Each structure stands twice: as C-alpha cells, then as structure tokens.
A and B are shown apart, each in its own frame.
Chain A
Amino acid sequence: MNTNMSSNIYDFSTLTGAIHTWLSGMMSSGLVIFTEMVLVGLAFLLMYALLGLFLVYFERKVCAFIQNRVGPNRVGLYGIFQTIADLIKLLMKELIPIRKSDKLLFNLAPYIVIICSFLALAALPYAKGLQAIDFNIGVFYVMAVSSLSVIGILLAGWSSNSKYSLIGAMRSGAQIVSYELSVGLSLLAIVVFTGSMQLSTIVESQANGWWIFKGHIPAFISFIVFLVASTAEINRGPFDLAEAESELTAGFHTEYSGIKFAFFFLAEYMNMFIVSALGATVFLGGWMPFHVGNWEGFNQIMDYIPSVVWFFSKTFFIILIIMWFKWTFPRLRIDQLLTLEWKYLLPISLFNILLIAFTVMMGWHF
C-alpha cells in the first residue's frame, strides 16, 4: 500500500536539504552546522512564543464557550490580541524581591521550568521531514526532559520563603514523580507495538492506521491512561493541586510576579502542548493523514491536506480534551490524587502492558 506518494509534495526534507546545500556553498562545514543551529533555535523561539500566546487565547475561548460566555473580545477582532496585551502587561510589571528568600534559586527556578519545556520541543516530529533531532530514544528523551521541570517547581516553592509555595511545591513533587510512572507505562505500550523508541519510526509505523485503531482495546486503554496521567503531570485541573487557587492562592508561584510569573505560566501551557503533541504522535499517528482501508479516493483527498495541518489538528484535539477535563471537574485532594495513581492507573497500565505483549506475541494487531 503506497499511500505516501502524493504526500511527498509536503515533504519538508526537500526544503531543509535545499537550505543545507545553499549554506554549504557559502561557508565551511563547521560554520554551516553553527548557522543551522542558530536558525533552528530562532525558529523554535518564535514557535514557542506564538504557540504560548495562542494556547492562552485558545484556553480562554474554550472555557468561555463552556461557561456560556463570549470570552476575550475587546482587543482586536474576536480578542485575538488579548494575550499580547497581557504579555505586555506582565513584561511591564515590577519584579518584587522577597525578603529572606533564596535569591539565586528564586531567580533560577523559572528558567529551569522554561528550559525543560523548551528542550522537549526539539525531538517532536512536526511534519514529514520537519524534526530538529531524530533521536533513536525519542520517547524516552521527551519524557525525561519534561519530568525535569519538577526541579524548577520544587526550587520555586522552597526558595520563595512562603508556606503556600512550599506546600504547593511538595504536592507538585509527589504528584509529578508518581504520575511519571503511568505516562511512561502507557507510552511503553506503543513502544512494544512498534518495537522502536524513535519517534519518526513510530510515526512511519502508523502509515496504514493509527495505533489507537490498530492496537485494539489495549491501545485505547493506554491512551486513556496517558490522557489522565499526562494531565496530572503538567499540573492542570482537575490535578492542579500545586496551584490550587482556592486553597493555596497560587501554589508554588505565589510569590512570583512580572516576567518570572509569565515564564511559569508559559511553561505550563507549553507543557500541555508537548504532552498533547507526544500523545498525538504516538497514538494518533503524528503527521500521518487519516486513511480508511481501501478507500483510495478518500485517502487521496486526505493526502492533500499538509502533514503540518494533520499534526497540529491532532495535537489541538488532545489539548481540547485536556481543557474539557479542566473546566468540568472539581479538584482532587492530595490523598485521592495518589490513590488514583497507585490504586487505579498503575495496576491498570501494568496489566495493559502484559496484554499488549501477549497481543504482539500472537500477532493479533494489524
């Protein structure tokens, strides 16, 4: 089944290849790599800022529609410049120094959090041929890097010399460490199916169908577990105990203001994007278009939609689900949060791995 013929027109490797040959013609090979790195870095910075701004706007609109409201609608058409106005406000705000806080760690924490979310962006395949580094342990790398942000949160909570912050950070630590397990195990399910940890290989393996369809019930279960656990891992409602505003005012970032607060805020939204992108890549086929069996005509039409569009629409579908969670459920208590992980998610995903191993062994998947 050769379905990738027509999607080649959107292959980004031709573009990147062209840039590489153009640069090699002008300078030495070392300089080429350096220039390319700078270019990629700039591209990611731009994407990071734009995505962050858009996600904040998207969240506000989604929650407004759920709550029978209109949402931001004053700044620009439909309020699209609202988040930019907010960003300008945050940039202009005073950075309040906290007496008796640990100055170095207090200032370091937001950078750790934002760097961790930045690192994970590199390994994600955005489209055919558009991926900064294609690690052969891509899934592992993204998980490892995204779980580093707990260090920043703990530092923020400890160094700001506030009881609310400390409680929030401790909760966050317990939460992220335990939910990391379930995220890992649910992703492991697909790794078992694919036999590879390389994200590009996982995407390629879904050319004839996404894993959530191909993998029968076990894949679906691991998708649900992944959704719940990753929502918890990025500290979003209903698992936002770390910043539960009706209990701890703002949790670990109570004492932060201005741009440092904006870093935490932006990192939270980018983490949401990263887990959604990872989920879309692993379970929903990444940039692969939607194909149905032998419907050649239908598949041809699907191929004409660019792979970038596929990737981002799948990602935003998962983001929408995560937002739907947040705006429906009340928050869990800390003991219930841990009960959910250790009593429900972990045994289920362990059993699920067993089921998948059996399925793969018997060759029951497509």
Chain B
Amino acid sequence: MMSEEIIKDVIIGENEDYIINMGPQHPSTHGVLRFEVCLKGETVKYLIPHIGYIHRGIEKMCESLTYPQIIHLTDRMDYFSAHMNNEAVCLVVEDAMQIEVPERAKYIRTILDELGRLASHQLWWCAFGMDLGALTAFFYGLRDREHILDIFEESFGSRLLHSYVMPGGLMHDVHPNFQNRIKEFIKYFRKKLPEYDQLLTGNVIFQNRTKGIGYMSKETAIGYGVTGPSARGSNYSCDVRKLAPYGAYDKVQFNESLMTEGDTFARYQVRMKEMWESLSIIEQLVDNIPADDYTAKMKPIIKLPAGEYFRRVETVRGELGVYVVSDGNKSPLRIKFRTPNFSNLFVMNEITPDIKLPI
C-alpha cells in the first residue's frame, strides 16, 4: 500500500528541490556572486546568496599600508562609487587629526560624489534594462555615462579608479575646464533623461515586470540593515547626506527621494528621482566653487592618534561605514568597511520567494 504521501514524495517528487545556480559565471551576475535558487515550476521557493568570489582581503592589506595608500584600495571596493569610498576614509582621518578642510575641496568633493552617483545610476539603469532584455537601454546609458567619465579623465587622469581625494583635501587642483564641462553635461543630460523614462519607465512590459515584485517592508529593511535607494523605496529615510551632512551637503537644497510601495518599481523610481536630484545639486554647487586652496597643510607622514573612529557616508548603494582602530602608528591596527552591498544582498532571501523566475 502506497500512501498518498509516498506517491507525492517519491514518484512525483513534489518535495524535491529543483535547484539552479545563478552565477558565478551566469550572465546576470558577472562573476561576483552566486545565487542558489530553488524553484517550484517557475516560481522561486527560496534563494541563498553565496558571496566572496571577488573578496580581495582589503581589510587585511590595509593593516600594513599607510592611510594615503589605503585610499587607493578603497576605490576597488565599489568602483562605481570610488569617490565616496575615498571620501569616507579621508573623513575618518580628518576627524581623527582634526584638520579643517578648505571650502574649495569640500565643494569639489561634493560635486564629484554626485557625478559619481549619476554615473553609477546610469550604469545601473542600463544594466537593469539589459537584465530585463532591453539591450538598447544598455547602450544609451553607457553613451551618457561616457560624458561623466570624460570629465573625470580630464581632471584626474583616470576614468574609474581615481584616488583623487586625499586626507586634507584633494590630490591636485581640478582642470580649468572642469566647470564648463559639467555645465555642458548637465544641459545635455537634462535632455536625455526624459528619454530614459519613455524607453523604460513608462513601458507597460517594464512596469508589469517590476511592479509588486520583491516587496520589502520598512521593518525588513531596517532589520537587515538595508540602506540606500533600495531602502528608500520602502519609505525608510536613511540618507546620510541628510542625517549627518558632510562636505558641502549642508549648503545645498535637495530632497531625499522616498517611495512607499517597497517593490522593485519603487526602488527603480527612487533611483530615477535621485538622478534628477543629483543634477540639481551639481547645478547649485558648480558655479559657487570658492577660490581657495585645494588642500589643507598636511604632514608628510600621517599618523592617527590612538583611538577608535567611525564615520559614515552615503555611497551610491547605501551607507558606507569606516571603522578605524589606531594604535598611533602610520597604519591602522584594524580597519573595517561596513559596505552597503554586504547588508543589501542578504535581504534577497527574504524578498524573493513566491515570485516568478525572471526576477
């Protein structure tokens, strides 16, 4: 006698997990992580993220490097928010040594932060479109991002990993063309951004694919430590630029983009709004860069007084915390980067079940 349970279990295999791997070589994960996705039909039952494929032991390396040398490593943690990562370390060092950064440096840092945010959001937009199958979006996003990278290249010589922010200010002054180029770019991009909306945001296929998918409540976001645009889509106000302004953020008017729906489309809209906000922040700052020194006077060898320091900045993807334990030497005893993606990723298992496979 076979009971119904046994028939279901053994013969039909109903309780058997059908697991497919998304990554690390899968086209949608680009070699950085692996999702172990368990399916029932086309519906996701559960999803386990596996990370560490590009873990480079930066924290260990930092223990034998001086602070200016650490900065060039922070670029590589998240290369789309290289400036913000640099700035986070610089803020810690400046805090600890009590250095007053010149206004000019603060303004330029803030402009660079926002330009970096724009460049990253453009790349996010095009990669998001590509993952959904709209390949043309990918090229439009990259086309516009090129203008920002050109601005970066003209001033700092590199397009992606520019260790340009130094403790005390900047590495060298910006190119004389800097302001003009930014103004040109803003004029150009204000015309192109509505096209993004027409191509993807309004599209009925796109809206059906994203609305109601991956719902994350505010409590889930806080509990898992999700920050940045992902959390702001759940009406969780967590913008460090507003909460604890650094740089020149206290001198500009901007709104924190919040959405209440908490689904993928809300998170998408938060980022689209942030692009407009970034444009307006840059517009407010670019004409008012004060003529000043680009850096404060710094000692050739930077030694932090013994103690523990913690600073947070808002990177593109959320809150980056830098925790430094110094014993008075020129390199830290322990440095810990609380990266936003580490926390943002692990909420995946909470929000993905019961949605269809193309996430």
Contact = CB atoms under 8 A, between A and B. Distances in A.
Interface of A: 63, 66-69, 163-164, 167, 171, 237-238, 240-241, 244-247, 249, 327-336
Given A244-B133, A247-B28, A336-B205, 8 more contacts: A67-B135, A68-B143, A167-B20, A247-B358, A327-B136, A329-B134, A332-B205, A335-B42
A257 B356 CA distance: 29
B224 interface: no
B308 interface: no
A63 B135 CA distance: 9
B139 A331 contact: no
B196 interface: no
Contacts of B359: 247
Nearest to A334: B42
A244 B359 CA distance: 12
B133 A167 contact: no
Interface residues of B, number: 31
21 contacts: A67-B138, A68-B139, A163-B18, A163-B20, A237-B133, A238-B133, A238-B205, A244-B358, A246-B27, A246-B131, A327-B136, A328-B134, A329-B133, A330-B132, A330-B203, A331-B134, A333-B356, A334-B42, A334-B356, A335-B42, A336-B205
Nearest to B130: A246
Nearest to A245: B27
B286 interface: no
Contacts of B199: 328
Interface string B196-215: 00011001011011000000
A336 B208 contact: yes
A331 B358 contact: yes
A245 B39 CA distance: 18
A329 B203 contact: yes
Interface in B166-207: 199-200, 203, 205-206
Closest 10 A/B residue pairs (Cβ): A331-B133, A67-B139, A330-B132, A330-B134, A246-B131, A246-B28, A163-B20, A330-B133, A247-B358, A327-B136
A327 B205 contact: no
B245 to A, nearest CB: 37
B204 to A, nearest CB: 9
A164 B206 contact: no
B129 interface: yes
Contacts of A334: 42, 356-358
A333 B209 contact: yes
A65 B129 CA distance: 18
B309 interface: no
Contacts of A244: 133, 358
B60 interface: no
A335 B209 contact: no
B346 interface: no
B26 interface: yes
A246 B209 CA distance: 14
B20 A68 contact: no
A256 B41 CA distance: 24
B140 interface: yes
Contacts of B129: 330
Contacts of B206: 330
Contact of B20 (A69, A164, A246): A164
Contacts of A332: 205, 208-209
A327 B42 contact: no
Interface string B17-28: 010100000111
Contacts of B205: 238, 329-332, 336
B42 A330 contact: no
Contact of A336 (B28, B131, B139, B209): B209
B358 to A, nearest CB: 5
Contacts of B134: 328-331
B136 A246 contact: no
A240 B135 CA distance: 12
Contacts of A327: 135-136
Contacts of A237: 133
Nearest to A66: B136
B30 to A, nearest CB: 11
Contact of B136 (A67, A241, A247, A335): A67
B211 to A, nearest CB: 11
A67 B143 CA distance: 9
B133 A69 contact: no
Interface in B139-183: 139-140, 143
Nearest to B207: A330
Nearest to A162: B20
Nearest to B21: A163
Contact of B133 (A68, A246, A249, A336): A246
A76 B139 CA distance: 25
Contacts of A167: 20, 39, 42, 357
Interface string B95-130: 000000000000000000000000000000000011
A8 B182 CA distance: 65
Nearest to B359: A247
A333 B264 CA distance: 15
A331 B137 CA distance: 12
Given A167-B42, A238-B205, A247-B28, A333 B358 contact: yes
